[in-house]
Amino acid sequence: MALKGRLQDFGITQLLNLINLARKTGTLYVEGQKGEAQLCFREGKLIYAFMDGVEDSLPLLLQRAGKLTSEQAQTIMAHVRGKSDRDVALMLIQAKHIQQQDVSDSVRQHMLNLVYRVFGWNEGSFHFEPSELPVQGKLTTPVALENVIMEGSRRLKEWERLQDELPDLDIALKFADRPTTPLRDINLSVEEWRVISFINPSNTIRQVAQYNNMTEFQIRKIVYSLLQAGLVQIVRPPRPAATPPGSAGEKGQAAQADASAVRRPAVKRSLVHKLIDRIREL
């Protein structure tokens, strides 16, 4: 009987702990709000993973890891059509295009990135199919789950903190009027530069992420660091317009226009001066 349940009741961390401790072999199917993942394990170790039914080919993984250029990856893919990843890896290693370590590092990194994404899912369903493993020819790399669980939990906490610090991605950024750090002293990563190039009060953070093909986690992390460094500032959305005071239907119209807009009272200057005088006397 397969293990099955809801992520709300039994989270990813608990599932991986169980698989690790019970040294399980098989495939864990996870269906969350943001996709479907399949994670394969052998004797409690993660060996293979893919998302949304898409198993990226080895040249693509090597390209993402910076081991191949885009042109190289395209050429290789065109020449090795129909061959298994294992055969492609052997061919590339023998031709000295890459080293064996590059292959295992790239596959491992791809797998881990995918698993860490699944850590953020707290709603959805899962089931575990014992003894079901990847088909022959797939490249597998055993990864001990203890470290994955620790790193995943750390990232989850970081993610929660970032979400707390920057809950709304539909706000825009602008360059700080008076940056706390002199610009010439700043070293930015390529990713940070990509974000910086889109900083504009008319672009929301979400749009910047979309332009740059970044995940919410990546964009939050970069924007948070730019905010902390005092390089950029959040452009606050404009305050709701003041409701014209005194009109009879004012409240109803305002409520219809914007349920959250609260009336501002019509107060004369003289009243405010009266308040000031009285409070001074107290």
Partner 1 sequence: MQTLKIVVTGPFSSGKTEFIQSISEIDVVSTERKISRSAERIKSATTVAMDFGRITIDEDLILYLFGTPGQRRFDFMWEILSEGMLGFIVLVDSTRPETFREARRILDTFRSYSPVPYIVAANKQDMEDAWPAEDLKIVLQVEEGVKVVPCVAVKKDSVKQVLLELLYSILELMDEEE
Long-range contacts of 27-30 (CB under 8 A, 24+ apart): 27/128, 27/129, 27/132, 27/133, 28/126, 28/127, 28/128, 29/126, 29/127, 29/128, 29/129, 30/118, 30/121, 30/124, 30/125, 30/126
The residue (of 96 and 280) whose beta carbon lies closer to partner 1 is 280
Cβ of 133: how many Cβ atoms within 10 Å? Answer: 16
> Which one of the spans 139-147, 148-156, 208-216, 272-280 is the region binding partner 1 (CB under 8 A)?
272-280
Reduced to 3 states (helix: H, G, I; strand: E, B; else coil), residue 25 is coil
**Least CB distance to partner 1 at residue 226 (A):** 14
Q: Is 96 in the site for partner 1 (CB under 8 A)?
A: no
Q: What are phi and psi for residue 86, nearest 5 degrees?
A: -60, -45
Residue found by looking up tokens 């050429």 in the block = 75
R_g (Cα) of the chain, nearest Å: 27
**Least CB distance to partner 1 at residue 281 (A):** 9
The residue (of 5 and 244) whose beta carbon lies closer to partner 1 is 244
Contacts to partner 1 from residues 160-219, by CB under 8 A = 164-165
Q: Is 77 in the site for partner 1 (CB under 8 A)?
A: no
The residue (of 127 and 263) whose beta carbon lies closer to partner 1 is 263
**Least CB distance to partner 1 at residue 234 (A):** 7
User: Which stretches does DSSP call E strand in the chain?
Assistant: 3-6, 26-32, 35-42, 45-51, 124-130, 143-144, 172-175, 232-235
Query: By the 8 A CB rule, do 85 and 137 touch?
Result: yes
Pairing of strands 45-51, 232-235: unpaired
- 3-state SS of the chain: helix, strand, coil percent to 5? 45, 15, 40
Site string for partner 1, 237-266 (x = CB under 8 A): x-xxxx-----------------xxxxxx-
**Least CB distance to partner 1 at residue 239 (A):** 4
CA nearest neighbour of 14 among 145, 188, 140: 145
**Least CB distance to partner 1 at residue 263 (A):** 5
The residue within the footprint of partner 1, chosen from 96, 187, 236, 246 (CB under 8 A), is: 236
**Least CB distance to partner 1 at residue 238 (A):** 9
The residue (of 248 and 282) whose beta carbon lies closer to partner 1 is 282
Q: Is 234 in the site for partner 1 (CB under 8 A)?
A: yes
Reduced to 3 states (helix: H, G, I; strand: E, B; else coil), residue 142 is coil
State the Cα–Cα distance between residues 235 and 25, nearest whole angstrom: 51
**Least CB distance to partner 1 at residue 229 (A):** 13
The residue (of 24 and 221) whose beta carbon lies closer to partner 1 is 221
Kindly state the number of chain residues that form the binding site for partner 1, as judged by CB under 8 A: 27
> Which one of the spans 46-54, 152-160, 195-203, 234-242 is the region binding partner 1 (CB under 8 A)?
234-242
Query: Given the rule CB under 8 A, which residues bind partner 1?
Result: 164-165, 234, 236-237, 239-242, 260-265, 267, 269, 271-276, 278-280, 282
